[in-house]
Chains A and B, each alone.
Chain A
Amino acid sequence: MATTMAKALNAALADALADDERVLVFGEDVGQLGGVFRITDGLQARFGDKRCFDTPLAEAGIVGFAVGLAMSGLRPVVEMQFDAFAYPAFEQIASHVAKLRNRTRGALSVPIVIRVPYAGGIGGVEHHSDSSEAYYAHTPGLKVVTPATVDDAYSLLREAIDDPDPVVFMEPKKLYFASGEAELPTRTAPFGRAVVRRPGRDATLIAYGPSVPVALEAAEAAREEGWDLEVVDVRTIVPFDDETVTASVRRTGRCVVIQEAQGFAGVGAEIAARVQERCFHALHAPVLRVSGLDIPYPAPMLEHTHLPGVDRVLDAVARLQWDDQPDPRWLPAPEAAA
């Protein structure tokens, strides 16, 4: 049936609350209001304010509170209202959530889900559109998951709540209200598995979260140029599925990694490096990255300049050494005339 990612996430939370009394859902405005994106709509009315409740407006407090709840045997699912508003919680996430199992040799675990609406494309004003996945992916002990489809939104969130480890669950805001087909409840591929969304022979586009629809659109447009592109949806950044990604690139011999976040030191850089290390002899071209610009997230009227769109992807595809010529962008500058 046709539904939206927002509704699928809401259904996943409701089903988890119904199935496991240890699950608690809390954060800012998640109670009566149902969250600013309505992801928790109706949960307090159905499960009561002991299971789904509002907290003081303090993100470090919310995550630290979840750590204590997890230590008492509960399964907290917390909502950070927006990507950039999760930064106050970073110390709790990096120093405690991510490390508690390791510090205690497994005596304590922290099965927390931290939901983070992230990324742009919704015309949000300052501090409402950051792509913050690299911070979490760079922190050992966290799993970092980001759905791109409606049924993945449901399934990955259910799996995140059941997972014995902490999961930063990154929800692409611009996909919340895009509709898709899904029969809920559903279970898709588990954590650690990337999925080929579109098979193709000529090059692999690797994307996750909000960039997956861009990659699919670019692959469709590329047919007119005569390229048959494969699209791989990473789904779980941590744990990362090297196997599926490298199998695809070995087949196609060319690869473009797409991310909405600024590019420098980003997740795409890690993926490109891994592909290069593992597929060197199968590659006909350097692995290219398409990303946002290395700037603070721009004001709404300029965000489309920042966001990687179909054209930027196709430009990269065009530079994949189809005629085995050096990329003019990387040639040394000509000597200045004497």
Chain B
Amino acid sequence: MIQVDGLRIRIGQTEIVHGVSFAVAQGAAFGLVGESGSGKSTILRALAGLNPDWTGRMAIDGTPMTRRRDRAVLRRVQMVFQDPYGSLHPRQTVDRALSEPLTVHGIGDHDTRILRGLDEVALPKTVRFRYPHQLSGGQRQRVAIARALMTSPEVLLLNEPTSALDVSVQAEVLNLLTALQRGRGLTTVLVSHNLAVVAHLCPNIGVMQGGELVEMVSAADLRLGDIHHPHTIALRALSVSLPG
């Protein structure tokens, strides 16, 4: 579903990503881990069409992506950002946030779609006309997920979707993402620095360091410690679990 070959991305004068290749099958979930500055979010933003300064090849479902995206491509690829406090407009109601993608893509029947969207992320109908500040962090992230799903995308890009949330809320959002991914057959790319979160959601994981993909591992091998690159080993060692 997603093919990335020799992707190089620049921000200004600096090359951030130095030739990264990976592929994600239809309906699969792929994780990218690495420390900040390793280029994982930059790849996600380029996939979403938020940074046109790239070379190499990116294709969705066999269709090569161009520097400028037309609306049909953008509709198929949607993104959820890290901080639900920052990614929702503070002066727009949930209703407005959810209807905007519909308006942009010329999709009608707002009423039914918004209600269905809220229902899908397990939010009560009553939040529809609330503002973001009237919602909890977990509810806000649910709104952001619902917004990404409004255009019925095939690819969902998740950038640290739970790192701003409490662990109890994180569990609920992760369960929601698992259910949505299975239910809708969404192809997902998840970026996170939390190895346990990535391994929970993604069977296949790419480890990034300094703008390069240094190792590809399966979640199972990661759990067992069957990994080879020193950076992967270091990241795994840091993923603290409880003593005793």
Specify whether A and B are partners. no
| Residues of B in contact with A (beta carbons under 8 Å apart) | none
A contact set with B: CB distance below 8 Å? none
